[in-house]
Structure 1
Amino acid sequence: MGFSHLLLYFLVSSVASLRGCMGSDRVPIQINDDVLGLIVFKSGLSDPSSYLSSWSEDDDSPCSWKFIECSPVSGRVSRVSLDGLGLSGRLGRGLQKLQHVKTLSLSRNNFSGEVSLEFGLIPSLESLNLSHNSLSGLIPSFLDNMSSIKFLDLSENSFSGPLPDDLFRNSSSLRYLSLAGNLLEGPIPSSLLSCSSLNTLNLSSNHFSGDPDFVTGIWSLERLRKLDLSHNEFSGSVPHGVSAIHNFKDLQLQGNRFSGPLPVDIGLCPHLNRLDLSSNLFSEALPESLQRLSSLNYFSLSNNMLTGEFPRWIGSLSNLEYLDLSSNALTGSISSSIGELKSLRYLSLSNNKLLGNIPTSIVSCTMLSVIRLRGNSLNGSIPEGLFNLGMEEVDFSHNGLIGSIPSGSSTLYTSLHTLDLSRNNLTGHIPAEMGLSSDLRSLNLSWNNLESGMPPEFGYFQNLTVLDVRSNALDGSIPADICESGSLNILQLDGNSLVGRIPEEIGNCSSLYLLSLSQNNLSGSIPKSISRLDKLKILKLELNELTGEVPQELGKLENLLAVNISYNKLIGRLPVGGIFPSLDQSALQGNLGICSPLLKGPCKMNVPKPIVLDPYAYGNQEDGQKPRHVSPRPARFHHHMFLSVSVIIAISATIFIVFGVILISLLNVSVRKRLAFVDHALESMCSSSSRSGNLVTGKLVLFDSKSSPDWINIPESLLDKAAEIGQGVFGTVYKVSLGSEARTVAIKKLITSNIIQYPEDFDREVRVLGKARHPNLLSLKGYYWTPQLQLLVSEYAPNGSLQSKLHERLTSTPPLSWANRLKIVLGTAKGLAHLHHSFRPPIIHYNIKPSNILLDENFNPKVSDFGLARLLAKMDRHVMSSRFQSALGYVAPELACQSLKVNEKCDIYGFGVLMLELVTGRRPVEYGEDNVVIQNDHVRVLLEQGNALDCVDPSMGDYPEDEVMPVLKLALVCTSQIPSSRPSMAEVVQILQVIKTPVPQRMEIF
């Protein structure tokens, strides 16, 4: 609120008090109080769409203003409704002037800060709705003075901390209370039990806890009809024998730790229409009393530990529309009485221990839209009439179903969007009608015994994103128009008997990121059109009959993370770009002649055949035609002439090569003699020189010492006694006690391949790295150099690497807490920012990953291996990419793409992946039995769906969502495929420092 508005408010209050002293019968001030109160309230708001433009301080009454209602009797404001107007700011002063307002609704805006105690100064208030804002802090005890309050909704904000125990002591009129979707914790105040008029109570999605005695107290509120305690931390058993529970219409306890048997009393609730007890620890069998819930339309007991047979009485719940008993331990067969549920739309019995057939009576559930029976032991065939219903999702996977897939009706194929029949024993062919599904998005028929080929109608799919028919007995060729729609993301045809060539039209699958055609009988060459699949991340072509060379164009696929072309008949050179230089032996072996140093077999090239001139091409022709009468002898004569010319050329080439070999051998002999003379001279010079200058024995240079002490003549003997603590891209790391001071240091023995071989160049580059001193950089202490051995000396980090703490942790070692993870993220960012912004040109790390983040005794991060690319004799991005093949998922796409400029943005990409890894606790790329999970894409999808917190590492315990969510979003920005879209590391540090700031202070920053 600006100074002028504060002054205005002070004057108004003073004048109002003065007028009050003069007598209310002389000066009618009530309407002015409402106007000025609302104007002062408006002055502290941001109204980007000018919804409140009609509010003018010049008006005598606010009753004509938008969103304002007045009492026709008193003329005072009785209702203020500003829902969903995009307003922002703090809930400042002014509203307490509305002494006759009964309804105040400010929901679905962007109000922030704490709620003022002055709300308690509005004695007439009956309904207060502040839901869906960004309010924070503790919930104040303003209810003490609001005895008339009937409706209170503070849901979907960021209120935190415990509730005052006496919060509701004067709220006997309260009928509706919602505190859902906040960060509240601790027990529920006992004063809540005095709210005898309470009809609806919603405390869901907080961190409330409590013992069963308190829950019993809630049960005693006789007027309570709707109770939602879901997604909290309540535990213990649900009480029995409480009469008030019989009045419930809506009971939701899901997402807690309630245990024991289900309360029998719930079956005595004749009006109950929603019951959700899922995701708890309930056990034992379902009580028979549940069959009395004839009004029930929503029933979920999923993710518990319920046992016993599937209820025979399920058909008694005649009004049921939603039934979920999945992820329990129910046994027996599915009761045929399920066919009596005529209103059933959703059915999930997945992941139980059910046996027998799918009852044919289920066909009577004509309203059925979703049916999930995954992960049981069901057998028999799919009921024929079931596929005539207008279902949207069918999941019968991981069972033992036999028979063929029903052809289905047009009703099914116009509504179906997900069909999963995988891992059964189905036979026969794929119904051609399935290709006419206009809305089908996911089709999984894998791991069955389906025969014949894929119907040509498969090309008609318009919205299909997943097609998985792996491990069947399908034959024939791959339909050329399989990607006609262009929407396919996953295509898995491996493990069949498909023949023919991979169609060139495969390049039309523009959205494809997984292509698996392995273990078939495909022949011909790999089509170049695959290079158009710029989103492709996984390519599996192993165990086929593919021939020719791998198209060089495939090296341009920047997003490709995994390739397997083993056991084909491929030859020649691999593409020089992308993932191909990093492929290991298992991805290449079993071919005719691929050229790779990893393979021991021959290297065969596609060498063009020599040009053979047709003897009839020129001369003895009339009108372009060969002579009709030619004896065979001249033909043989010309043939022998051609062979003779070929032999002469081959002999000449051989003589030339032999002559060249002899000449080179003579030159080598001469060079060896000269080198021997030079070596002898150097040896004489070195023997007479001082030890400090002896390059043969080597010298240890320490940057933080005034003198450079000589080292042992045989440094390998010291390393032999040292403890090896790790291996990296550039060499092996040892823990060593150095010198008489017994200082513990880390020594990296560099690999000699492609490392600078001139001592003055090596010294210059290492000294640059030695100047990079920062609390979050592993300090480089010095080096040791000889032509045969190069060592780097750096400080020792006693807590090991982040890799060991995150992915190689012993069960006895506690996991990293969120506080330590955020400390590691911020510290690593600061270290990289120092490298990027304190040096010109900037020092680029190129290899950000957990094994290069070391931790000191206080879990402060130390970035190691920074700038070692400067020691490469030749800086080539393909060399870099091949060196970092162990960093799958961390390497920025531009490192494998010649057309993009490489700068420090590649470090920011790796840092973004590292942030995702710290939040999720998972590696960047994980291989499952049926799929490959790329964390970057997985988190992005969850964020778009509003379920980002589902990916948070559960092992780290409690964490603040207001820190985790921004870190996740920042990580996704840092891993943008476009380098220019990534922030600088200095900007990253600034953002992380704001995220780390406590919420109240953070609000002040903004």
Structure 2
Amino acid sequence: MRKLVSLIILIILGLFPNCKGAPSLSPSLNDDVLGLIVFKADIKDPNGKLASWNEDDDSPCNWGGIKCNPRSNRVSELNLDGFSLSGKLGRGLLQLQALRKLSLSKNNLTGSLSPALVRLPNLRILDLSENGFSGVLPVDYFRQCGPLRTVNLANNKFSGQIPDSLSSCVGISVLNLSANQFSGALPAGIWGLQGLRSLDLSYNLLSHEIPKGMDGLANLRTINLSGNRLTGRIPPEIGGCSLLKSLDFSGNLFSGNLPKSLLNLSFIGYLSLGDNSFVGQVPEWIGGLKGLENLDLSANNFSGLLPASVGKLRSLKVLNVSMNSLSGSLPESMASCLSLQIIDFRQNLLTGDLPKWIFKVALQEILLSENKFGGTMDDSLASAEEASHQSLEVLDLSHNVLTGAIPSALVNFSSLAFLNLSKNSLTGPIPRYFGELRALNVLDLSENKLNGNIPTEIGKATALQELILEKNFIEGIIPTSIEHCSSLSVLILSHNSLEGPIPLALSKLADLQIVDLSSNDLSGSMPKQLANLQHLVSFNVSHNNLQGELPGGFFNTINPSAVSANPSLCGSATKKSCSTVLPKPIVLNPNSTGDAFSGSSLPATFGQKKNLLSISSLIAIGAAAVIVIGVIAITVLNLRVRASASRSAAALALSNGDDFSNSPSTDANSGKLVIFSGEPDFSTGTHALLNKDCELGRGGFGAVYRTVLQNGRPVAIKKLTVSSLVKSQEDFEREVKKLGKIRHPNLVTLEGYYWTQSLQLLIYEFISGGSLHKHLHEGGGGNFLSWNDRFNVIVGMAKGLSHLHQLNVIHYNLKSSNILIDSSGEPKVGDFGLARLLPMLDRYILSSKIQSALGYMAPEFACRTVKITEKCDVYGFGVLLLEVVTGKRPVEYMEDDVIVLCDMVRGALEEGKVEECIDERLQGRFPAEEAIPVMKLGLICTSQVPSNRPDMTEVVNILELIRCPSQEDSG
């Protein structure tokens, strides 16, 4: 009877929520119990975290995630953080009239939010962060926000403008709306929230200038507006926020000089203004911010000298002024900054000797690469004190003009994990003491003038992961002691004078991924055991004197360029077969009357050439000659094309490393490299940038290569082959930076770019799981996607595409090879927005040069009078959806027919046989109540009339409705 009453009340709650005329609840039933059971009914609980919630209980106070007020016995806190819940928030929570804290963060909840939620009469804390909530918050959403003190909606998918009604929340002290898709201007009403102590609106799409009135936030302690599109100058009113401790305006479009009113922020400890367009000198008054612990002015247009007043910042721990145009030497006054832990002066124009103070202060990281520091390292290291010996972990002095030998004093830095001295003019041998640096992970001494042997003591550096010694004058053999460097993943020894064999020791380094021994004098055969290395992605031994057969395994598929210029090396990749002992051929005498295999037949046939060459033999020989001539002609043409392409890639070849720099120069002999994350060690990882061994694939825009950064993180490099169509550098950079700001779990992240007039590269995150095309069409045996996997891929693709369309980005190039699957099975849409890099969106250029996969292209591409919109992507998505469900390609060629996937599924649906189209590898292991609606959705998306196709937001909502709860976790 109690369950029946509960069911009736559930219906009432659904039909008459918050209505004055709604029937009153039975006094014998607890409102909180009923509200929570309604809430539970609307969500999915895969891990059974809510198993203790029993509708037969009189009180919920002993349920998981619940706290009650001991006096009233009403629910005061609902904390379900990280419970893996999914679904939508129903109206059950509105029954919790005594609720003070609602925290549902780190779940998978979706849908929109009811304004009634923030109007609960006693609610103080609302935390719905790290979910999938979406939609636009109405203008009056916060009109009646009652006693709210904390609102955290971070890491969701809310869009539209931030509601002006926020100004009504006069009691709010913490507001976090970060990592959403809010756009438009900042609401001026925010500055009226005088009780606000923490404001975080970072990583949205906010634009325009900051409105006046900031000085009204007298109680503000932290403000974060980073990762938006805000413009103009920092308003001088910022000085009125005198209690500020943390200010982050990085990653915007701010310009002009820094306002002196910042000097009024006497409590400021964290000041980040990087990645903007500020100009002028770093102001002298910066030394007045005595409480600063972290100062980031990187990636701006600051010039001139760094002021000596920086030495007054005695509390400073992190100083980052990289990627500016600072000149002169570093001020000696910085020796007084005894709290310093990290200094980053990369990519400036600094000159002079290395300051003596940098090794006196107990720094953990010293990043001075890509400047013009000269002289030797001896003087500065001689002044090093004991404290610095124990603390220094990262030392990057690469790409300067340092001379002399590598000083022996470096042996004292026992905590050193990263040492990069590449691209200098250092001389002398490689010190033996590097083996004593047991914490050393990365050692890069490339592109210097070092000589002598590789010391055998290097084997003692057991933590070494990357050893890069290329482009020196090193001789001798590769020491066998290297086998003790068991963590080694990158070994680059190319362009030296090494001799002797490739040691068997390399085959014992199980983690090896990239090996480059090219352009040496190595000889002998390659150890067969190298074939056992499971993680190899590149192994270059070209231009040596190696001989014998390639080891097999990985080397069966190696690119020929990686083994070229070894005249005596043989194997499939070298195009030379290895000599073997063959049996003596049998000669048959057609005139012999004896045994055909008798030796007496040999004299009878010897010399009778007229009988050996029949007419059919002559025809065969002639055909073979024609084929050989054709192959030679094609090879010559390919060599010419490759030679032309190699000239374009020369700017990135290892032999011309100076051309690949982070310099802003864009003349014909240099390039511009921009990494949005500002990683200090990208350029040292370019050894495999355009190595053919690392090619992942080719598409309409160009080839994609894999390379590994010096910190071990792989990235993907796309070499654009539409250079003749690419916009000017200014337009190209503007569009690429826009694409680089797009972040979504189902989109491949663009991490940077490289520009020269003849060569453009895009740098992406590396997705390890391969493409959707590979999973659908190239998987062997039982290696195929389950139904649940496929449904998740479809939903993920839809969400990624929906996000792009909300940002007014059209993909234009949807196909299964552009959908990548990461290690956790999550789909990521790649190659989006690249059409923006072209000077005009000509549909014929797009269809012929970019939309290279037949079958995905919307029919309106063939008609000049029809506007190209997001509905073109919806068509391509519909084809992709059908491809995922059926496992068939969009167009398949049979012996006597061409099968178009959309037409096949549409015909099967009309005949009532649509289930027969589902991938036969699933063998009935799929819910028909999901599969059939999904295919119908695919057919709707591929409608010939663009207006009949839904938009991607609607597609996402439909897919979420199709998902059957009983089948969600099945295989």
Q: What TM-score do you get using the length of structure 1 for normalisation?
A: 0.60
Identity among equivalent positions (%) equals 31
Q: Distance in 2 between matches of 1:535 and 1:937?
A: 24
Residue in 2 that maps onto 1:145: 144
Question: Residue 108 of structure 2: which of 110, 114, 117 is its match?
Answer: 110
Q: CA deviation at 1:208?
A: 0.9
Q: How is 1:603-622 mapped onto 2 (pairs within 5 angstroms)?
A: none
For 2:201, the equivalent position in structure 1 comes to 203
Once the two structures are TM-superposed, the CA of residue 242 in structure 1 deviates from its matched residue by 4.9
How far apart are 1:111 and its partner, in Å? 1.4
In the alignment, what sits opposite 2:156?
A: 157
Residues 82-93 of structure 1: pairs in structure 2 closer than 5 A: 82-93=80-91
Question: Is the 2:282–2:307 contact (alpha carbons within 8 Å) kept by the matching residues of 1?
Answer: yes
SS at match of 2:261: helix
For 1:649, the equivalent position in structure 2 comes to: none
- After superposition, the Cα gap between the structure-2 partners of 1:23 and 1:105, relative to the gap in structure 1 and judged at 3 Å, is closer
Q: Which residue of structure 2 lines up, in the alignment, with residue 533 of structure 1?
A: 533
Counterpart residue number, 1:512: 512
User: Which residue does the alignment assign to 1:1001?
Assistant: 958
Contact 1:536 1:559 in 2 (8 A): no
> 1:83, CA displacement in angstroms?
1.7
Aligned equivalent of 2:499: 499
Once the two structures are superposed, residues 953-1006 of structure 1 have per-residue CA deviations (whole angstroms, 9 ceiling, x without a partner) of 77748999xx99x99xx99x99xxxxxxxx979999979969966433333233
Matched, 1:406 2:407: yes
Aligned partner of 2:548: which letter?
E
- The two structures, once aligned, show a CA RMSD in angstroms of 5.1
Aligned twin of 2:721:
807
Q: 1:426 to 1:659 in 2, by over 3 A?
A: farther
Structure 1 residues 419 and 146, CA, compared in 2 at 3 Å: closer, same or farther? same
Deviation at 1:499, TM superposition (A): 2.2
Matched, 1:374 2:372: no
Residues in 2 aligned to 1:196 and 1:662: alpha-carbon distance in whole angstroms: 110
Output the CA distance in 2 between the equivalents of 1:518 and 1:381.
30
How much has 1:812 moved relative to structure 2?
Answer: 6.2
What's the CA shift string for 1:372-408, capped at 9, x where partnerless?
1110000122232557243222111101112222335
Deviation at 1:531, TM superposition (A): 2.6
Q: Deviations over 1:446-489 (max 9, x none)?
A: 11122221121222333322211011222221111313344322
Superposition deviation, residue 152 in structure 1: 0.4
Equivalent of 2:326 in 318, 323, 330: 330
Aligned equivalent of 1:840: none
Distance 2:129 2:236 in 1: 34
Alignment of 1:124-139 (within 5 A): 124-139=122-137
1:664 aligns with 2:664: no
Change (3 A) 1:408 1:90: farther
Matched residue, 1:190: 188
Which whole-Å CA distance do the structure 1 matches of 2:202 and 2:170 have between them? Answer: 22
Q: Does 1:465 align with 2:465?
A: yes
SS of the residue corresponding to residue 429 of structure 2 reads: coil
Secondary structure at the counterpart of residue 543 of structure 2: coil
Question: For the structure 1 residues 446 and 205, does the alpha-carbon distance in structure 2 shift closer, same or farther, using more than 3 Å as the test?
Answer: same
**1:205–1:302 CA distance, 2 compared to 1 (3 A):** same
Aligned to 2:46: 48
Q: Secondary structure at the match of 1:343?
A: coil
SS across alignment from 1:522: strand
SS of 1:135 mapped into structure 2: strand
Paired residue secondary structure (2:35): helix
Q: Tell me how far 1:363 sits from its aligned partner.
A: 2.1
| Whole-angstrom CA distance in 2 between matches of 1:374 and 1:143 | 50
- 1:161 maps to amino acid: G
The aligned residue for residue 691 of structure 1 is none
5 Å-filtered alignment, 1:171-190, equals 171-190=169-188
Q: Is the Cα contact below 8 Å between 2:292 and 2:316 reproduced in 1?
A: yes
Partner Cα separation in structure 2 for residue 891 and residue 47 of structure 1: 29
Residue deviations 1:924-949 (CA, integer Å, cap 9, x gap): xxxxxxxxxxxx999999x8999989
Amino acid paired to 2:961: E
* Runs of 5+ unmatched residues, structure 1: 582-594, 597-603, 609-655, 677-726, 730-799, 822-888, 906-911, 921-935, 975-982
Superposed CA offset, 1:664-705 (max 9, x none): 34543x6499999xxxxxxxxxxxxxxxxxxxxxxxxxxxxx
- Tell which deviates more after alignment, 136-145 or 983-992: 983-992
CA distance in 1, matches of 2:88, 2:952: 22
Residue equivalent to 1:704: none
Q: Give yes or no for contact 1:5–1:40 (8 Å, CA) kept in 2.
A: no
Give 3-state SS (helix, strand or coil) of 2:608's partner.
Answer: helix
Residue in 1 that maps onto 2:395: 394
What CA distance in whole angstroms lies between the structure 1 residues aligned with 2:825 and 2:445? 26
Residue equivalent to 1:882: none
CA distance in 2: counterparts of 1:89 and 1:892, whole angstroms: 30
**2:213 match: secondary structure:** helix
Measure, in 2, the Cα distance between the counterparts of 1:416 and 1:545: 37
Do 2:445 and 2:469's aligned partners in 1 also have CA atoms closer than 8 Å? yes
- Asked if 1:524 is matched to 2:524, the reply is yes
Distance 2:479 2:567 in 1: 23
Distance change (3 Å), C-alpha of 1:950 and 1:412: farther
- Counterpart code for 2:162: L
* Structure exhibiting the larger radius of gyration computed from Cα positions: 1
1:58-77 paired onto structure 2 within 5 Å? 58-77=56-75
SS at match of 1:557: helix
State the 1:19 CA deviation.
13
Contact 2:477 2:498 in 1 (8 A): yes
Query: In structure 2, how many angstroms separate the alpha carbons of the residues matched to 1:891 and 1:53?
Result: 37
Tell me how far 1:267 sits from its aligned partner: 2.2
Aligned partner of 2:346 among 347, 350, 373? 350
How many angstroms apart in 2 are the aligned matches of 1:464 and 1:952? Answer: 38
User: How many angstroms does 1:229 deviate by?
Assistant: 0.5
CA distance 1:208–1:946, change in 2 (3 Å): farther
5 Å-filtered alignment, 1:422-501, equals: 422-501=422-501
Query: Aligned with 2:271: secondary structure?
Result: strand
Q: Secondary structure at the match of 1:481?
A: helix
In 2: Cα distance, 1:100 partner to 1:502 partner = 75
Worse overlay, 984-993 or 62-71: 984-993
Q: Where does 1:799-878 land on structure 2 (aligned, <5 Å)? A: 807-811=721-725
- Conservation of the 8 A alpha-carbon contact between 1:314 and 1:337: yes
Q: Counterpart amino acid of 2:365? A: V
Aligned-pair CA distance for 1:427 = 2.0
Q: Which residue of 1 aligns with 2:967?
A: none
Give me the whole-angstrom Cα distance separating, in 1, the residues matched to 2:135 and 2:562: 54
Farther-moved stretch of structure 1 (60-69 vs 992-1001) = 992-1001
Q: 1:318 to 1:802 in 2, by over 3 A?
A: closer
Q: Secondary structure at the match of 2:522?
A: strand
Which residue of structure 1 aligns with residue 8 of structure 2?
7
Seen in structure 2, the aligned counterparts of structure 1 residues 665 and 417 have a Cα distance that, compared at 3 Å, is: farther
| Residue 438 (structure 1) shift | 3.2
3-state DSSP class of the match of 1:401? Answer: strand
Residue 894 (structure 2) aligns with: none
- The corresponding residue for 1:544 is 544
Moved more, 126-135 or 185-194: 185-194
Offset of residue 324 of structure 1: 0.6
Q: 1:675 to 1:67 in 2, by over 3 A?
A: closer
C-alpha displacement at 1:331, in angstroms? 0.3
The one-letter code of the counterpart of 1:372 is L
Aligned-partner Cα distance in 2 for 1:902–1:43:
37
Which SS does the other structure have where 1:378 is aligned?
Answer: strand
Structure 2 contact 85–107 (Cα < 8 Å) conserved: yes
Write the distance in 2 (CA, Å) between the matches of 1:549 and 1:417.
39
What letter corresponds to residue 178 of structure 1 in structure 2?
Answer: N
Given the alignment of the two structures, is residue 301 of structure 1 paired with residue 297 of structure 2, yes or no?
yes
Which residue matches 1:37?
35
Do the aligned partners of 2:214 and 2:238 also contact (CA within 8 Å) in 1? no
Moved more, 513-522 or 463-472: 513-522
Mapping for residues 509-908 of structure 1, pairs under 5 Å: 509-546=509-546, 548-551=547-550, 553-554=551-552, 557=555, 560-561=558-559, 563-570=561-568, 574-576=570-572, 579-581=573-575, 595=576, 662-668=607-613, 671=615, 807-811=721-725
The alignment's TM-score, normalised by the length of structure 2, stands at 0.62
Consecutive unaligned residues in structure 2, runs of 5 or more: 583-600, 621-636, 640-698, 704-718, 740-769, 786-792, 802-816, 839-868, 885-917, 942-950, 964-971
**When the two structures are aligned, how many residues end up with a matched partner?**
694
In the alignment, is the contact (CA less than 8 A) between 1:120 and 1:144 conserved in 2? no
